[in-house]
Amino acid sequence: MIVTEAELAGLIDQTNLEMGASAQEIADFCTRSVPFGFRALCLLPDQVGVALPVLRGTSIGLAACVSFPLGLDRWEVKAREAADLCDLEVAEIDMVVHTGRAREGDLSWVEQEVAAVRQAVAHPRLLKVIIEIPVLPDELVGPVAVAAEAGGADLVKTSTGYKRLGIRATRAEDVRLLRSRLSPATGIKAAGGIRNLGQLEEMVEAGATRVGASRGIEIVEEWRLRQAGDPRGR
């Protein structure tokens, strides 16, 4: 059970991965987000330079995506991009595995490419690995997640949630499956279609330790309404 607003905000990666967002739009997004104390803001790589001055001196981490949203770059390219982002003070990397290799069940490839990026993302920086569950055959979800964990993932992430690709929303059963296969020490990030407090709570109940959402502000405001006894806070 989520007890406090700080606990709720600490679960959320407040996300803006909109294609074509301007520098001013990203700066405004970051400025609006800072007072809520989210765990991290998750952005595209070219937006890092805009976000860093806004976040510097706050408790909010900066996460950046690598090979988003398709994951089809060579792993050497992914590792180089991750290393460059770490040089820019990014605290967390959200990388997408090669979706084609994952769908083929090439678990060795998945493990090796995650390991290559892990080498570029030294601890204490976090590596989150997106395995895009909605496009995987059901029988491969667990093995691909385990391969990502073996490669060095700190968290395994359910999905890009990238609506322009028509990816379905993440389901609680996706999270439960990951939790049943991964070590207790490996986190799970639920992302994709999580738009309200009830959906977030469902993911946490299923085993998510982090939630990616573009509506983090609205989710926290919904929490506040609930605490105030307002019926709008479902």
**Per residue in 88-136, pLDDT tens?**
999 999 999 999 999 999 999 999 999 999 999 999 999 999 999 999 9
Mean pLDDT, residues 184-200: 97
Asked if residue 43 is part of any domain, the answer here is yes
pLDDT at 159 over 90: yes
pTM of the predicted model, to two decimals? 0.96
Asked if residue 222 is part of any domain, the answer here is yes
94 catalytic per annotation: yes
157 catalytic per annotation: yes
User: Which residues have C-beta within 8 Å of that of residue 200, sequence separation ≥ 6?
Assistant: 8, 11, 12, 194, 211, 213, 219
Q: What is the CATH number of the domain that holds 165?
A: 3.20.20.70
Asked if residue 145 is part of any domain, the answer here is yes
Say if CB 99 and CB 69 are below 8 A apart.
no
pLDDT at 19 over 90: no
Task: Report how many domains make up the chain.
Answer: 1
State the residue range of the domain holding 173: 5-227
Catalytic residue among 13, 73, 78, 94: 94
Which pLDDT belongs to residue 233? 65
The Cα 4–Cα 227 span in angstroms is 10
**pLDDT tens digits along 48-79:** 999 999 999 999 999 999 999 999 999 999 99
Asked if residue 113 is part of any domain, the answer here is yes
The Cα 52–Cα 143 span in angstroms is 36
Which pLDDT belongs to residue 50? 97
Asked if residue 233 is part of any domain, the answer here is no
189 catalytic per annotation: yes
Asked if residue 141 is part of any domain, the answer here is yes
- Percent of residues, the chain, with pLDDT higher than 90: 91
